[in-house]
């Protein structure tokens, strides 16, 4: 079956460029203004208080995104193939996510009762509920992407991200209170969810129509099952550093580490959001018997992601040390030696995302699961061996290890496909050498 994305030549030129531009606007707003919010929190709350709320955000992100159960990826793939059914597909996904979220909430309450200090429970509660609301809004956005109405997402994200920045960041700067900031964090995320549901109501339909029957919800779960493990492991490897470091580092050290890690880890969601522009066309090309359509897109995706990976690696390695004091203040001087490791992670992780999206389009989920398990295992072993003695000195390089394992496993798996382009080989060889060269240059500065 050939979709309009591949059959219509105009989509390959002007329309795709417009879609990419709109997604770029949405991504810059979502990630850029989100990062600016974290910068304001870090600067005005200080390393210790920021360490508390940043750790809460990491745990909340892991729990809430785990409830996605692969629903976002599965729904986008299915809705892109059949846009007229997008509202039904996404509605059923939202209904399933409600049930999963209720189960996650129960687990979170039990875990928090044993692991979180009583004085920090309100902070964790606000952050968890706010993060969960945000994830529901993002899942709802799939219906706009399936209709290729990326300008709708861009408008929603830009406007609500400004509200989140002014609300959460403004309260933190005004009060210096982590509790007040957490409360406004919750309020602004609920506003985002309400705005998304209202704007997309013409495609999503009434809330009462979502999850029409147990059979439909079971079918949605079954369709998402192939992506569930991959999704949970992807979230785990993007948050495992904070989850594990929180057990071994002080709140002050966590605040310093997170001040840099929150900047660099935007690579993962940025790459995921950017890849959604290519998912409809890649999925359609993968369904065709001819090899050329997919190879053409494979070359474009691989080169584009490699270029962006190189820019990210250079920026974090060499610009990071120049802006630390200006950005965060003198209390974050311990962050300076970490930027080279963050740069290596950014380069390798972004390039790996380009490989990963091609494997999803080819419906090859197993290599993605293997890469996440291998990365998590390598990280845990290295952290247990090195972090207790070296502390912050090795923290960023432990994060870079995750990017290296993901890059190697996903790249080599894609290399085995007869549909991939030769640009994959160049990326596999050239980018690790570039990361090594950047590390050596940074060490001499």
Structure confidence at residue 25 (pLDDT) = 78
| Distance (Å, whole) CA 61 – CA 97 | 15
- Calculate mean pLDDT across residues 266-281: 69
Q: What percent of the chain has pLDDT over 90?
A: 23
Of the CA atoms within 13 Å of residue 278, those in its CB half-sphere come to 29
| Distance (Å, whole) CA 39 – CA 342 | 16
Residue pLDDT, tens place only, 190-225: 999 999 988 888 777 655 455 556 666 777 766 676
Can you read off the two tokens belonging to residue 358?
Answer: 């091609």
| Distance (Å, whole) CA 397 – CA 211 | 44
Nearest to 76 by CA among 261, 215, 272: 272
- Orientation angle between helical segments 339-361 and 320-328, nearest 10 degrees: 110
Confidence of residue 4 (pLDDT cuts 50, 70, 90): very low
Please say if the pLDDT value at position 269 is more than 70. Answer: no
CA torsion angle 173 266 94 21 (round to 10): 100
Distant-in-sequence contacts of 425-429, Cβ < 8 A, 24+ apart: 426/306, 427/302, 427/303, 427/306, 427/351, 427/354, 427/355
CB 138 within 8 A of CB 30: no
CB 77 within 8 A of CB 283: yes
Confidence of residue 226 (pLDDT cuts 50, 70, 90): low
| Distance (Å, whole) CA 26 – CA 32 | 9
In the chain the first and final C-alpha atoms are separated, in Å, by 55
Please say if the pLDDT value at position 188 is more than 90. Answer: yes
Can you read off the two tokens belonging to residue 107?
Answer: 């687990």
Can you read off the two tokens belonging to residue 368?
Answer: 């993605």
Taking residue 270's Cβ as centre, other Cβ atoms within 10 Å add up to 21
Residue pLDDT, tens place only, 68-112: 777 877 777 777 777 777 777 788 888 888 888 888 888 888 888
| Distance (Å, whole) CA 2 – CA 403 | 35
| Distance (Å, whole) CA 270 – CA 272 | 5
- Top-ranked range on mean pLDDT: pick from 29-43, 140-154, 342-356: 342-356
Can you read off the two tokens belonging to residue 140?
Answer: 């709802």
Is 198 buried (19+), middle (13-18) or exposed (0-12) by CB count in 10 A? exposed
| Distance (Å, whole) CA 231 – CA 68 | 8
Structure confidence at residue 443 (pLDDT) = 62
CB 65 within 8 A of CB 110: no
Nearest to 33 by CA among 266, 254, 234: 266
CB 392 within 8 A of CB 339: no
- Calculate mean pLDDT across residues 134-156: 84
Please say if the pLDDT value at position 369 is more than 50. Answer: yes
Please say if the pLDDT value at position 9 is more than 50. Answer: no
Is 377 buried (19+), middle (13-18) or exposed (0-12) by CB count in 10 A? exposed
Strands (E), 26-110: none
Please say if the pLDDT value at position 17 is more than 50. Answer: yes
Helices assigned H by DSSP within 116-177: 121-140, 142-146, 150-164, 170-175
Phi-psi group of 46: left, alpha or beta (phi > 0 → left; psi -120 to 50 → alpha; rest → beta): left
Structure confidence at residue 76 (pLDDT) = 78
Task: Please give the radius of gyration of the chain, using alpha carbons only, rounded to the nearest integer.
Answer: 21
| Distance (Å, whole) CA 1 – CA 283 | 10
Three-state DSSP state, 1: coil
Q: What is the mean pLDDT of the chain?
A: 82
| Distance (Å, whole) CA 200 – CA 181 | 29
CB within 8 A of 300, min separation 6: which ones? Answer: 278
């Amino acid at each position: 079956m050939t979709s309009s994305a591949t059959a219509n030549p105009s989509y390959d030129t002007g329309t795709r460029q417009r879609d990419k531009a709109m997604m770029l606007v949405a991504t810059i707003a979502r990630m850029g203004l989100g990062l600016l919010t974290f910068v304001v929190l870090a600067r005005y709350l200080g390393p210790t208080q920021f360490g508390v709320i940043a750790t809460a955000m990491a745990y909340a992100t892991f729990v809430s995104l785990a409830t996605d159960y692969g629903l976002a990826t599965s729904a986008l793939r299915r809705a892109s193939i059949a846009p007229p059914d997008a509202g039904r597909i996404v509605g059923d996904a939202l209904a399933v996510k409600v049930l999963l979220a209720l189960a996650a909430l129960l687990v979170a309450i039990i875990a928090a009762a044993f692991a979180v200090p009583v004085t920090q429970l309100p902070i964790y509660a606000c952050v968890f509920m706010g993060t969960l609301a945000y994830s529901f809004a993002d899942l709802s956005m799939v219906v706009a992407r399936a209709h290729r109405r990326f300008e709708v997402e861009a408008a929603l994200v830009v406007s609500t991200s400004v509200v989140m920045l002014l609300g959460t960041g403004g309260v933190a700067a005004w009060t210096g209170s982590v509790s007040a900031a957490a409360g406004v964090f919750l309020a602004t995320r609920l506003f985002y969810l309400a705005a998304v549901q209202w704007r997309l109501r013409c495609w999503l339909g009434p809330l009462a129509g979502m999850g029409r029957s147990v059979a439909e919800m079971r079918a949605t779960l079954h369709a998402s099952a192939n992506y569930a493990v991959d999704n949970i492991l992807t979230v785990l490897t993007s948050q495992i550093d904070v989850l594990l470091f929180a057990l071994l580092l002080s709140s002050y050290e966590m605040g310093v580490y997170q001040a840099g890690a929150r900047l660099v880890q935007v690579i993962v969601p940025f790459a995921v959001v950017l890849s959604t522009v290519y998912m409809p066309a890649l999925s359609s090309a993968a369904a065709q018997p001819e090899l050329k359509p997919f190879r053409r897109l494979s070359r474009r995706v691989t080169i584009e992601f490699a270029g962006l990976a190189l820019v990210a690696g250079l920026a974090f390695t060499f610009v990071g040390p120049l802006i630390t004091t200006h950005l965060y203040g003198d209390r974050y001087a311990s962050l300076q030696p970490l930027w080279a490791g963050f740069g290596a992670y950014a380069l390798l992780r972004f390039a790996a995302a380009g490989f990963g999206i091609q494997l999803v389009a080819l419906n090859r989920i197993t290599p993605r699961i293997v890469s996440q398990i291998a990365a998590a295992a390598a990280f845990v072993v290295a952290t247990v061996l090195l972090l207790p003695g070296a502390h912050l000195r090795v923290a960023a390089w432990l994060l870079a290890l995750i990017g290296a394992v993901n890059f190697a496993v996903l790249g080599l798996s894609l290399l085995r496909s007869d549909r991939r382009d030769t640009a994959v080989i160049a990326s596999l060889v050239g980018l690790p050498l570039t990361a090594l060269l950047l590390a050596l240059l940074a060490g001499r500065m």
